[in-house]
Chains A and B, each alone.
Chain A
Amino acid sequence: MSRLSTQALTLAYEDRTVVADLDLAVPDGEVTVIVGPNACGKSTTLRALGRLLKPKSGSVLLDGASLATLPTKRIAQQIGLLPQTPVAPEAITVADLVSRGRQPHQHWWQQWSDEDERAVSEAMTRTDVADLAERSVDELSGGQRQRVWIAMALAQETELLLLDEPTTYLDISHQVEVLDLVRQLADTPFKGDKGDKGRTVVVVLHDLNQAARYADHLVAMKSGRVVAAGPPSEVVTADLVREVFGLDCVVVPDPVTGSPLVVPGAPWKAS
């Protein structure tokens, strides 16, 4: 089942077509990771899934309805999105920033409900930033700041969550922390869901090995097209890596998780 999908989606900046004729279905309650070389259109695709970019042709469908026809506030109650480099207002406190994630659930006359309070404190506890609540976002480290932004996206409490390279600028332990959180979101039931389904998360990642480790559904893109899509164990092969990234490699099982692990070849030793 897919609540979110694309249909013959073509995306362009001015006249330059970046993604052409893309058909993509995002499986519900799973972690979908989009990978591909630089400028393959993966971030562009994510932006379109979150209606930040209007399609040149084709459409993005949410529950069968085109995003272009839905009120943006209604979309915001279903889809949360964390852009690659979000900018916080100067001198804003952590709790203030996280609480702005509640925007789509609020009205002019209903600026703060108990529900808002619960969602914000849950999001902050989950991302381990509750202790920073009163601090100014400006004075946080890169890792802390990224967790605060994720907390804001979580406070939005959407069933679908889109993350654009959430691990950029983070050291390896913070990268693992963020990705573990992503796994948890998909593995624990989303509030009020009878079928015990977790959240649907779409992540754009640079690191192929991390993608293979955390994804349920892996989408490999090249030059604006999907080259392969499916479970990592089927998608990640030496042939695919050569085709998509132009890299010779050996694929071995990850010693910890058993997921495919890409070990690049050593061309400097070959000749």
Chain B
Amino acid sequence: MTTTSVPVRPAGYSVLRAGPARFLVHRRAVAVASVLVLLLAASCVAYLCVGEAFVPPGEVVKVLLGQSSPDELVVGELRLPRLVVGLLVGLAFGVAGALIQTVARNPLASPDVIGISQGASALTVAAMTFGITSYSVLPYLSVAGGLLAAALVYLFAWRGGLHATRFVLIGIGFAIALRSVTTLFMTKGDYLVAQQAQIWMTGSLNGRGWPETEVLAPVLLLLVPAIAWAARAQRTVSLDDDTATALGVRLGRVRLGLVALGVVLAAVATGAAGPVDFVALLAPQIARRMTRTAQIPLVSSALTGAVIVVLADLLARRLFSPTELPVGVLTAAVGAPYLIWLIIRSRTVGGTS
């Protein structure tokens, strides 16, 4: 009696055909991503409108379309470069957090919790105290610091295989150790350097612009195929080790690939704007609650990250104007309560989150 079967497919998915290729697309995730794109566009226009002088949205759109406008200087030269950096940083942190949370199978894991941001900070601040203050060198150093820290965490967490919990705990340990190294450099260093380092470490978009974009944009563009691969690979990594292996997944390699991708993204973003705390932690979880998918949706997570950073920086610029806050202060103000809520909730539900 096995022939009378009803056709089924994963609930909520549609099949997208493109020639011989077929892709599974989660309908709700597509809807959520579309809404996020609109929200992001609206946030960007708002970002460009608001400032010392208010520019009407019509003029902003004119500048974006390349038409001549009296506000070209304010919008195109002053606000746009900073917006683009914020946008790209948000996208990168959103994806990075999603990938690392997937591999660690833990919503608490994110680049700023498991030591990657701290590694970037330590090396950058060290360089600053030794007199390297050029903004053409520092981003590369923070990328190197992030990668180095991640490699160390991976090395210490590896014992014939990667155990998710051990990975997170060792990461937290490294984060604390690296933070004290940073503090050490700051107290040893010059007063002015310490102040500069302090601002960088809170994550600030102040003074960021095209030079940062020139590094960020090509890296993100180059990584798009890898991110497309990751979106598919996530499906199996979210199962337990034995089941995934039985399904023919080379778990060790896939995990290493996902972590490496996440670390590179987080390190590059940190290099551009400093460690903007909690974005990588928040974005994937918010996105997943919206799409209700079994794994963290990468596109929605990236878009959520971008919306968070753009809106946070908008507030950071205007809230106490003329004093400007670093954007990291704002994201931390939202992120820290969320982190506490996450921990409380995971305890009451019995750790199943």
Contacts and interface: CB of A to CB of B under 8 A. Distances in A.
Interface of A: 47, 50-52, 72-77, 79-83, 86-97, 99-101, 103-104, 108-113, 117-118, 120-122, 124-126, 130, 133-134, 138, 152-153, 156, 188
A103 B22 contact: no
Contacts of B2: 122, 125-126, 188
Contacts of B20: 109-110
B221 interface: no
A96 B239 contact: no
B250 A72 contact: yes
B239 A88 contact: yes
B353 interface: yes
B68 interface: no
Contacts of B353: 90
A76 B249 CA distance: 9
Given A89-B238, A89-B295, A99 B246 contact: no
Interface residues of B, number: 37
Given A89-B239, A90-B353, A100 B247 contact: yes
Contact of B294 (A90, A120, A125): A90
A95 B8 CA distance: 7
Secondary structure class of chain B's binding surface, majority of residues: loop
B22 A110 contact: yes
Nearest to B4: A125
Interface of B: 2, 4-13, 15, 20-24, 229, 232, 235-236, 238-240, 242-243, 245-250, 292, 294-295, 352-353
29 contacts: A52-B246, A72-B248, A76-B246, A76-B248, A83-B246, A86-B240, A86-B243, A87-B239, A87-B243, A88-B239, A90-B294, A92-B294, A96-B11, A96-B294, A99-B9, A100-B236, A108-B232, A109-B20, A109-B21, A109-B23, A110-B20, A110-B21, A112-B13, A112-B15, A118-B5, A121-B6, A124-B8, A133-B11, A188-B2
A91 B232 CA distance: 18
B262 to A, nearest CB: 18
B23 A111 contact: yes
B205 to A, nearest CB: 34
Nearest to A156: B247
B24 A111 contact: yes
Contacts of A88: 239
B243 A93 contact: no
A110 B248 CA distance: 16
Nearest to A188: B2
A32 B8 CA distance: 32
A89 B247 CA distance: 15
B247 A90 contact: no
Given A91-B292, A134-B11, A103 B21 contact: no
